[in-house]
Amino acid sequence: MLSFAYLRMCVSRCLRCVGVALVALATVCTVANILLLLPELKVHFLLEGHVTREASWATGLWSSGLLVRPQPSTVIFVMLVSCDLLALYSCACLLSSAFCCLVSITGLVQGPLCLYNTTSGSAWGYLLPLRYYRDAGYLYNRSLWSGVCLEPKGVVQWNVVLFSILGGASGLQALLCAANCALCMCAFCIRVQCGVSIMCVCIF
């Protein structure tokens, strides 16, 4: 039979590994959302309000970024906390990461905000999902990715790649947060049933 000391060590190490992975994914989400706000790496689209709505919500910055990323100025600060508090924190991160993933999927389906030609001249709007809805959407027809949007240049590929990265990273965050909650419950059960304390290591 495994000793309780070994179980405590395994749970603590797993919690720490999950924490480090969440920090890395939070960095990915932050960078992806910043790039989504800067089509062509130019700030004037953001200042003029010509950025895709789901990108302007900046869920990759606050939802899957700042909330999951360490709060102090140090990059990684390891501290010992109560498993109960860690479980609550993980649940909050789970909800925020899932929300970011949902917004990213919506951004993919909706398509980018871009300048396109109309019968009365050029206009800004969401052309792709409206025009090609009957063709199963622009995501399944890569020939539509070029020549439809006049500005920003290459915005369709830009949004597809970055929203895919943001959605995948935040979805993985949600899974890791769920695993973190399960580990905290294991730690709580060991503490209650065995009358021993367990050290929960969290990345803040």
The pLDDT assigned to 67 comes to 80
Q: For the chain, give every domain's residue range.
A: 4-203
Verdict on whether the full-model pTM lies above 0.85: no
| pLDDT tens digits for range 130-178 | 455 445 467 777 777 777 888 998 898 999 999 999 999 999 999 988 8
The pLDDT assigned to 6 comes to 56
In 3D, which of 177, 204, 198 has the Cα closest to residue 88?
177
The pLDDT assigned to 43 comes to 93
- Residue 59 near residue 99 (C-beta atoms within 8 A): yes
Question: Which residues of the chain are under the pLDDT cut of 50?
Answer: 1-2, 71-81, 130, 133-134, 136, 192-204
- Residue 93 near residue 64 (C-beta atoms within 8 A): no
The pLDDT assigned to 72 comes to 35
The pLDDT assigned to 50 comes to 92
The pLDDT assigned to 3 comes to 54
In order of 125, 127, 129, 150, the CA distances from 122 in angstroms are 10, 12, 18, 9
In 3D, which of 7, 2, 1 has the Cα closest to residue 188?
7
DSSP-derived secondary structure letter, 63: I
